Amino acid sequence: MAKRIEDNEITAEKIVTMIKRTRVPVLTLDRKWLSLFNTPEKSNEIKRLEVEVNNAIKSQGRINKERDELKGLKKTLMKEIVSNMDAKENSRASKKVEKSKELIDDINDKLILIEDKALDIPDNINTSNAKLAYISMEELFDKLDSNEADIDALNKWIDQTRIELKKRILLREKRREENKKMEKFLLDTFDRDVLREYKKYREKD
C-alpha cells in the first residue's frame, strides 16, 4: 500500500513546485551559478539537468528561428500575391498566385503547430531549471555542512596547535635562559684556553 502524504508534509516535489513559482534565474546562464558548478567535480545529476535545461533553451531558439523564417516567407508570398492580383486567369502569374496561396496555407498550419510547441517551451525550461535549482541547493547545503565540519575540526587543531606552540615557545625561552646561565658560569669559572681545548677534545670524540 502506497504511503499517504499529508497535505502539510514537506517533500522534494513540493519544494521544486515552490521554486517554479519564484523568479529563479536560468541557472546555466547565471554567472554566479557557473562560478560554483562549472568545475570538473560537478555531480552527474547536475550535469544531466544542466543538459536538460540547455536543450530546452536550444529548442526555444530553434522554434523562434523557424517561426521567424516562416513569417518572413509568408510576408514575401503575400507581396507576390498582391503584385499579381490583376493577372489574367490561367496565366503564369495567376498560377503563381494560386501556388503562393497554397504555400501560405501550409505556412499557417505550420505556424499553428509551432505556436503550440512554443507555449510548452517556457514551462519546460522552468521545470528543468527548478529541478536543477533544487539539486544545486541540496548539494550546496551538503557542502556547507561538510565545510562547517572541516572548519570545526580545523579550529580545534588550530587551538590545540596554538597551545602546543605556546608551550614550545616557553620551553625554548627556558632553555635559552639555562644556556645563558651555564655559559656565564663556564666563562666566569674556567680559563678561555681551557674551554677552547675542551671543546676540541669533545669534537674529537
Residue 56 domain flag:
yes
Nearest to 39 by CA among 154, 139, 148: 139
What range defines the domain where residue 64 resides?
12-149
Q: Which three three-digit cell numbers place residue 125?
A: 525550461
The model's pLDDT over 142-173, given as tens digits with 9 standing for 90+, comes to 999 999 999 999 999 999 999 999 999 999 99
Residue 182 domain flag:
no
- Going by the DSSP 8-state scheme, the letter that residue 132 receives in this structure is H
Residue 16 domain flag:
yes
What's the total number of domains in the chain? 1
pTM: 0.69
User: Residue 4 pLDDT more than 60?
Assistant: no
User: Residue 141 pLDDT more than 50?
Assistant: yes
Amino acid letter, 16: V
**Averaged over 26-32, what is the pLDDT?**
95
Residue 41 domain flag:
yes
Residue 111 domain flag:
yes
User: Residue 178 pLDDT more than 50?
Assistant: yes
pLDDT of residue 86: 67
Residue 202 domain flag:
no
Nearest to 57 by CA among 125, 123, 128: 125
